[in-house]
Structure 1
Amino acid sequence: MTDVLTLGDGHQGQWYELDCGGTLPQGNFGSTPLTGGPLWADLGKGDKPAAPAVDPGVLAVQAASRLELPKPVVRMSPVETARQVVGVPSWLWVESSLWKPVESSAEVPGVEVVATATPSSVTWELGDGTVPVVCRGPGTPYGPGSDPDGESPDCGHTFERASAGEPGAVFRVVVTAHWSVSWSGAGQGGTFPDLTSRSVLPVKVVEVQSLVVAGAGH
């Protein structure tokens, strides 16, 4: 953005150069970096203000590129830092404190556009070769009143094999949060393709052998 300039016809304004972080994940929707040529915001002639000649959709692209999405904080039961057990249901969830919309804005004199990213689902790739688990919300935390032998009501997985044969004897679990993106400003609005944020963690899965003790007389 330049200082306020005065043109030959007496109009005043500023030049804006978009720099939307094309090298960053947030700065690229599809394959086209979020950049563009200089934009002139006309402030009018002399002291008389005029509406800025800026397309709100262009500002929306800039606002969306500034969104800072939190990585999902992963939780499991049995606890993710210990071990999961073959054949025992694992509860999966992400911290609900981060499950809320994230906003960012871009503006020029007279026009402000707000981009909003709203979490919509979480995909769990468990690393054991099974189909990814897609959860339509953050998942239900395991609590004191939960059934230790029961499955999660909305987001869970049961490992069918141990991770002993994997590198480091762990499964590489990838948890991806999906965010729907919309924008509004200057009486207009629209949407952008979904964005994602991701966390990766090693999870050890073990097989526990049951010990059956015969009763007296057997």
Structure 2
Amino acid sequence: MVVSATAVTLALGLATAHSANAIGEDDGRNPSEPGDAEGGASGRELYSQVGRSNIVVKQSGGGAAKPATGSLVSVDPNWKPPTCWYEPVATSKQLKAAVEEMEGTEKLLTVNSQRRWSEELLVETYDKGEPTYSAEGTKNYNLGKKGMFWRDVVRQGGEDDIEAADCSRTMFWQVANTVPDDPYAPTPEVLAAYAYNKIRVPDTEVELKPTAKSTVNMPTWVWLDKALFKDVTVRAELPDTPLYAVTTAKPVALHLEPGTTDAKTFPASGDCPVNEDGSIGAPYTKGASKQDPSCGIAYLRATSGKPFQLKASVTWEISWEGTGGAKGDLPDGTFETTQDMNVQEIQSINR
């Protein structure tokens, strides 16, 4: 598949054997978690980690006063982002320099997530042009040609998935302005799914009235302020390709679980929809004590030393758009928090 792009360039970061950096500078990329399988070298040598991607992500929106830190859980238990895909990793000059730095050492360079090669094997394959272990040989690292060497990336947490073995191609040459003709080539949808995993949403701590204690049989009004709860967008770009995707999470509903069967919710389903102005529920107003709230809870018995655990989860609708007008939807995500609810027996309360 051929796509248009600007000239292909990629700066390889310099790393020591003690470094946690992968190829490239940080620039919004996501470092691997401790314990990832890794192979490395020092100086100008390539250094890689199985769970490391060069995809750059940037989030905006959310509206919360505090940084959004909540990770979404897909409502589809069978959905997960792609386990592996291919990315550009080095220019001809960068690979040649990395191999030359290995001369006379026993260090290894990662050519895919399952293999690390010695300097001798790298020279045989990428300098002398001998095809080796599924790798297509190149003469003199293809110096003077426009393009880059690509290799696979395995999603963090996907190292033990059997699908990780599907991206089995050894590091290969790809002509500039193209992406591999391969089922595991990166696409806007792959980037959208990658961005989904990086979405961080505001804590779902709802506003309550009364704020200190609820009273048996008296409704507690629940709402989320529109100013503090807005769409979240995450843009994911793959450097040195024209590929990008913008994944948007839009809050569409609040679900309440009282933490006890001795309670009723408003509405009865516990699902409070988002209002037209973007808020959820409505704040209590003076004189509304005999009305049912549009979103709320009424506890039917008091707590006795141990508060009820009110669970509030927001459903986020996920959509994306990307390179070439591509677009689509991903499974809704949810984020849940728990709040203590103390309930007293008296039948009246100052509001």
State whether residues 60 and 115 of structure 1, in contact with CA within 8 Å, keep that contact through their aligned partners in structure 2.
yes
Between the aligned partners of 1:33 and 1:71, the Cα distance in structure 2 is 33
Between the aligned partners of 1:105 and 1:171, the Cα distance in structure 2 is 39
State whether residues 250 and 318 of structure 2, in contact with CA within 8 Å, keep that contact through their aligned partners in structure 1.
yes
Alignment of 1:130-141 (within 5 A): 130=263, 133-137=270-274, 138-141=280-283
Query: Is 1:86 paired with 2:173?
Result: no
State whether residues 18 and 62 of structure 1, in contact with CA within 8 Å, keep that contact through their aligned partners in structure 2.
no
Query: Is 1:181 paired with 2:318?
Result: yes
Residue aligning to 1:122: 254
Superimposed CA distance per residue, residues 9-43 of structure 1 (whole angstroms, 9 cap, x where no aligned partner): 634125365465438xxxxxxx9999x84898956
Residue aligning to 1:204: 342
Residue aligning to 1:95: 225
Give the secondary-structure state (helix, strand or coil) at the position aligned to 2:230: coil
Residue aligning to 1:155: 295
Query: Is 1:12 paired with 2:147?
Result: yes
Residue aligning to 1:47: none
97-106 or 82-91: bigger deviation: 97-106
Q: Which amino acid aligns with 2:334?
A: T
Q: Which amino acid aligns with 1:160?
A: L
Between the aligned partners of 1:193 and 1:33, the Cα distance in structure 2 is 21
**Alignment coverage as a number of residue pairs:** 191
Question: Which structure shows the bigger proportion of residues in strand conformation?
Answer: 1
Residue aligning to 2:28: none
Between the aligned partners of 2:254 and 2:151, the Cα distance in structure 1 is 37
Between the aligned partners of 1:198 and 1:51, the Cα distance in structure 2 is 42
Percent identity of paired positions between Structure 1 and Structure 2? 26
RMSD over aligned CA atoms reads: 3.2
Between the aligned partners of 1:178 and 1:41, the Cα distance in structure 2 is 43
Shift of 1:75: 1.1
Residue aligning to 2:97: none
State whether residues 314 and 334 of structure 2, in contact with CA within 8 Å, keep that contact through their aligned partners in structure 1.
yes
Structure 1 residues 107 and 196: CA distance shift in structure 2, 3 A: same
Q: Which amino acid aligns with 1:159?
A: Y
Between the aligned partners of 2:191 and 2:207, the Cα distance in structure 1 is 37
Q: Which amino acid aligns with 2:90?
A: D
**TM, length-normalised to structure 1:** 0.74
Unpaired segments ≥5 residues, structure 1: 24-30, 45-49, 211-218
Between the aligned partners of 1:20 and 1:67, the Cα distance in structure 2 is 15
Structure 1 residues 65 and 203: CA distance shift in structure 2, 3 A: same
Between the aligned partners of 1:209 and 1:116, the Cα distance in structure 2 is 45
Superimposed CA distance per residue, residues 108-166 of structure 1 (whole angstroms, 9 cap, x where no aligned partner): 221211111111111111112146611012211224x45233222x21222111122xx
Residue aligning to 1:194: 332
Residue aligning to 2:204: 72
Between the aligned partners of 1:182 and 1:15, the Cα distance in structure 2 is 29
Q: Which amino acid aligns with 1:161?
A: R
Q: Which amino acid aligns with 1:71?
A: D
Q: Which amino acid aligns with 2:316?
A: W
Q: Which amino acid aligns with 1:98?
A: L
Q: Which amino acid aligns with 1:122?
A: L
Give the secondary-structure state (helix, strand or coil) at the position aligned to 2:201: coil
Give the secondary-structure state (helix, strand or coil) at the position aligned to 1:158: strand
